[in-house]
Structure 1
Amino acid sequence: MNEPFKQGEANRKVLEADETAEGRLDAWLATMLEGEFSRNRIKSLIEEGAVSINGVAKIEPKRKVRPGDLIVIDLPEPLDPEPQGEDIPLDVLYEDEDLIVIAKPAGLVVHPGAGNWTGTLVNALIHHCGDSLSGIGGVRRPGIVHRLDKDTTGVMVVAKNDAAHRHLADQFADHGRTGPLERAYQAVVWGRPRQLHGTIDAPLGRGADRTKRAVKREQSEDAREAITHFEVIERFHERPDATSLASLVECRLETGRTHQIRVHMAHIGHPLIGDADYGAAFKTKANLLPDSARAVVALFDRQALHAFLLQFEHPRTGEVMHFEAPMPEDMQRLIDALKD
């Protein structure tokens, strides 16, 4: 049998043909690397000089494989496709020559990435703004100075030139400590925090699943400061023991870490309704709700989080700009159902 596939350098694949090896090089490689590369892709790599046998490249796909041959495939660095403009509707709250402010809907990814190379906010912005977006963020993130999760709704600002990008980025990096930047969110959470208002000061870092975040000890290598201020705005289905089945909470960020509100609220025992990543263990709480509310919760398929307020200093005029986005329809239905 052929020896098992060997991994050499980061972008190099090495195989050694055993005594049974025979046939065309492209066909043999397609068999050996079934599931990794198509025969057409292998043929292209051979013709591009990316495949060598016994140190000799520039060979033909039809070259015969012989026992003992050492075949090396040097893979080119993968290139991220440059995003193209797409006619995706935008809810524009404000726009001038320096920036654009939009209300992001649920389900819209902010910028292209693995699994989402099209259909993103960046694709929509390129179509809407043309070549005017700031280039500081790179081709995949033109003008993007902050993000919202795919299923989080609310206000976002995007820079349309490099000067505006730098000014806005500095404000977000400062987290409003010395300037007018404010970010406020509305979240519907399970239960009710013991305190009606408070501060969660808990560092965040990568979780066991690298796509998620977790509270970390300060000594952890990847721990980053994370501070969330919260206030309970409304309580739903209060019980005799002074607890509630759910609450509407307003959160204000002092830092802006990935998934910060979602992780922090789960950390204090009150994850967001609909949050499959950080609140899945609380799904059975819905069984305590009246039938009508339980049905609405069952159909709510995203984290109940809305970035309703964004305030910042205009990068050119210095004016304090204040924007609010109304509660999205699905979250309003959820709240109305919880009130019943």
Structure 2
Amino acid sequence: MAKEVTLNVTEAQDLLPFLLEQFPNKGRNKVKTMLTRGQVMVEGRIVTRHDHRLEPRQQVKILGTVRGMGEVLHGIRILFEDEHLIVIDKPPGLLSMATDEEHDRTAYRILMNHVRAASKTARVFIVHRLDRETSGVMMFAKSEAVQQALQNSWRESVLSRAYIVVVEGKVAKPEGKIETWLKESSTKTMFVSRPGDGVKAVTHYRVQRSTAEYSLLEVHLETGRKNQIRVHMQSIGHPVVGDKRYGATKNPIGRLGLHAQLLSFRHPVTEEVLTFETAIPPSFRKLFTTPAK
């Protein structure tokens, strides 16, 4: 399958039976392979579970393979590439790099295969990470020297990082600054600690839209700590939607309400200022769109 195919859901059912109905000539094993290889997106999110529940009016996209590579891009869109860097728009549901449970279906592995299609000795290197369920702009280096240059001068090189965040409840203050100290528990969960204990974290936010149930925020990071936005939103009583780990009780978009919208930085080699900005995910916008009467 070389092209992307879009399918509309008309009745509630599990994903695998739906796909088998849509592709009666493919066979059960081939359809399962489409799922395990990350070729199936539901409402913009990579889904691999056979029993994922579909609802009417949802859209399912089947992503094609890249000609000559034999590797699925898993919904990754390359925003920029030169001999030193690759900047991508990562979809939700895709890991940045391998874990004990997942080795192959990661942004790192996909991009490694991408660069090795041109040269067998080519490599990519992680510069920073996004959580599995966070979508948006992410950068990789093509050499260890460039990776180290970026990581060693991250605060100076990165000029702006902006996230779009959907949180529970109506945030009263139109804008604010959250400044705390964070620590990691034995269960790998971050939490707000007492001043001077852990690492300092600073987050700035501005409300873009809100309803009685949800708020859409533009968030800028002054520091880049693990799960910083998620912990800080929980600390002000407005957890990120879909973030059960950090206090959320609602999941209206079927994913974490966190999107890395903008990254602006100084190129470590050319010193050119590069800025990449992606659109607000449609599922975020739908929560703040008044239905037509």
TM-score, length of structure 1 as denominator length:
0.60
Aligned to 1:136: none
Q: For residues 338 and 204 of structure 1, what CA distance do their matches in structure 2 show?
A: 40
Aligned to 1:302: 255
Question: CA 1:167/1:181 → structure 2, altered by over 3 Å: closer, same or farther?
Answer: farther
Asked whether 1:316 is paired with 2:293, we answer no
Among 213, 232, 240, the residue aligned to 1:272: 240
Aligned to 1:217: 194
Q: For residues 70 and 184 of structure 2, what CA distance do their matches in structure 1 show?
A: 33
Runs of 4+ deviating beyond 4 Å: 337-340
Q: Which amino acid aligns with 2:110?
A: A
Asked whether 1:104 is paired with 2:90, we answer yes
Q: 1:187-206: CA deviations, max 9, x gaps?
A: 01112333211110011111
Q: 1:21-53: CA deviations, max 9, x gaps?
A: xxxxxxxxxxxxxxxxxxxxxxxxxxxxxxxxx
Aligned to 2:285: 332
What displacement does 1:279 show? 2.6
What displacement does 1:303 show? 1.4
Asked whether 1:182 is paired with 2:160, we answer yes
Aligned to 2:140: 158
Question: CA 1:266/1:338 → structure 2, altered by over 3 Å: closer, same or farther?
Answer: farther
Question: CA 1:338/1:234 → structure 2, altered by over 3 Å: closer, same or farther?
Answer: farther
What displacement does 1:322 show? 0.2
Q: For residues 338 and 258 of structure 1, what CA distance do their matches in structure 2 show?
A: 37
Contact 1:192–1:245 (CA under 8 A) maintained in structure 2: yes
Contact 1:86–1:127 (CA under 8 A) maintained in structure 2: no
Higher strand share: 2
Among 70, 73, 87, the residue aligned to 2:71: 87
Asked whether 1:167 is paired with 2:149, we answer yes
**What does residue range 245-260 of structure 1 map to in structure 2 within 5 Å?**
245-260=213-228
Q: Which amino acid aligns with 2:259?
A: H
Question: CA 1:335/1:144 → structure 2, altered by over 3 Å: closer, same or farther?
Answer: farther
Contact 1:86–1:126 (CA under 8 A) maintained in structure 2: no
Among 115, 122, 132, the residue aligned to 2:122: 132
Contact 1:229–1:253 (CA under 8 A) maintained in structure 2: yes
Contact 1:180–1:320 (CA under 8 A) maintained in structure 2: no
Q: Which amino acid aligns with 2:71?
A: D
Aligned to 1:234: 209
Q: Which amino acid aligns with 2:192?
A: V
Question: CA 1:276/1:195 → structure 2, altered by over 3 Å: closer, same or farther?
Answer: same
Asked whether 1:118 is paired with 2:104, we answer yes
Q: Which amino acid aligns with 2:280?
A: M
Aligned to 1:36: none
Contact 2:182–2:193 (CA under 8 A) maintained in structure 1: yes
Larger Rg: 1
Aligned to 2:39: none
Question: CA 1:151/1:105 → structure 2, altered by over 3 Å: closer, same or farther?
Answer: same
Mean CA deviation greater in 309-318 or 156-165: 156-165
What displacement does 1:337 show? 6.7
Asked whether 1:195 is paired with 2:173, we answer yes
Among 176, 182, 189, the residue aligned to 1:204: 182
Q: For residues 151 and 191 of structure 1, what CA distance do their matches in structure 2 show?
A: 21
Q: For residues 268 and 256 of structure 1, what CA distance do their matches in structure 2 show?
A: 18
SS for the counterpart of 2:195 is: coil
Consecutive unaligned residues in structure 2, runs of 5 or more: 1-68
SS for the counterpart of 2:140 is: strand
Q: For residues 198 and 164 of structure 1, what CA distance do their matches in structure 2 show?
A: 35
SS for the counterpart of 1:163 is: helix
Question: CA 1:235/1:128 → structure 2, altered by over 3 Å: closer, same or farther?
Answer: same
